[in-house]
Amino acid sequence: TWTMGNIIDDQVAAIREKVGDKEVICGLSGGVDSAVAAALVHKAVGDQLTCVFVDHGLLRAGEAEQVEQDYVAATGIKLKVVDAADRFLAALDGVVDPEDKRKIIGREFIRVFEAAAREVAAAGDVEFLVQGTLYPDVVESGGGTGTANIKSHHNVGGLPDDLKFSLVEPLRTLFKDEVRQLGLSLGLPEAMVWRHPFPGPGLAIRIIGAVSADRLSVLRAADLIAREELTAAGLDRDVWQFPVVLLADVRSVGVQGDGRTYGHPVVLRPVSSEDAMTADWSRLPYDVIARISTRITNEVPEVNRVVLDVTSKPPGTIEWE
What are the DSSP E strand ranges found in 89-150? Answer: 126-130
In whole angstroms, the minimum distance from the beta carbon of 140 to ligand XMP comes to 7
Question: For ligand XMP, which residue of 212, 261, 312, 317 counts as binding (CB under 6 A)?
Answer: 317
**Residue 200 binds ligand XMP, judged by CB under 6 A:** yes
Dist. CA 17–CA 32, nearest whole Å: 24
**Residue 170 binds ligand XMP, judged by CB under 6 A:** no
In whole angstroms, the minimum distance from the beta carbon of 153 to ligand XMP comes to 4
**Residue 98 binds ligand XMP, judged by CB under 6 A:** no
* Region of 55-63, 121-129, 215-223, 312-320 interacting with ligand XMP (CB under 6 A): 312-320
State residue 83 phi and psi, 5-degree precision.
-90, 105
Given the complex with ligand XMP, which of 197 and 254 has the nearer CB atom? 197
Q: Is the dihedral of CA 133, 135, 136, 138 positive or negative?
A: positive
* Region of 15-23, 68-76, 198-206, 255-263 interacting with ligand XMP (CB under 6 A): 198-206
String marking each residue 229-268 x if it binds ligand XMP according to CB under 6 A: ------------x---------------------------
Binding-site size for ligand XMP (CB under 6 A) equals 14
Question: For ligand XMP, which residue of 102, 195, 215, 291 counts as binding (CB under 6 A)?
Answer: 102
Residues 265-284 that bind ligand XMP (CB under 6 A): 276
Question: For ligand XMP, which residue of 43, 154, 269, 305 counts as binding (CB under 6 A)?
Answer: 154
**Residue 206 binds ligand XMP, judged by CB under 6 A:** no
Three-class SS of residue 155? coil
* DSSP conformational letter for 141: T
- Pairing mode of beta strands 244-247, 271-272: unpaired
Q: Is residue 22 a contact partner of residue 41, using CB atoms and an 8 Å limit?
A: no
Question: For ligand XMP, which residue of 55, 108, 223, 319 counts as binding (CB under 6 A)?
Answer: 319
In whole angstroms, the minimum distance from the beta carbon of 151 to ligand XMP comes to 5
Question: For ligand XMP, which residue of 118, 153, 172, 251 counts as binding (CB under 6 A)?
Answer: 153
Angle at 36 between CA 99 and CA 38, to 5 degrees: 90
Neighbour-count burial of 234, counting CB atoms closer than 10 A to its CB (0-12 exposed, 13-18 middle, 19+ buried): exposed
State residue 23 phi and psi, 5-degree precision.
-90, 155
Dist. CA 22–CA 33, nearest whole Å: 23
**Residue 201 binds ligand XMP, judged by CB under 6 A:** yes
Q: How many residues does the chain have?
A: 321
Dist. CA 115–CA 183, nearest whole Å: 29
Distant-in-sequence, close-in-space partners of 108: CB < 8 Å, separation ≥ 6: 56, 84, 87, 88, 91
Question: For ligand XMP, which residue of 87, 151, 172, 251 counts as binding (CB under 6 A)?
Answer: 151
Q: What is the helix (H) or strand (E) element at residue 232, kind and residue range?
A: helix 213-232
Q: Is residue 101 a contact partner of residue 93, using CB atoms and an 8 Å limit?
A: no
Given the complex with ligand XMP, which of 241 and 297 has the nearer CB atom? 241
- Is 34 annotated for ligand binding? yes
Given the complex with ligand XMP, which of 183 and 201 has the nearer CB atom? 201
Given the complex with ligand XMP, which of 201 and 263 has the nearer CB atom? 201
Dist. CA 3–CA 38, nearest whole Å: 20
Q: Would you tell me which residues interact with ligand XMP (CB under 6 A)?
A: 102, 151, 153-154, 197, 199-201, 241, 276, 313, 317-319
Question: Binding-site residues for ATP, please?
Answer: 29-35
Question: Binding-site residues, please?
Answer: 29-35
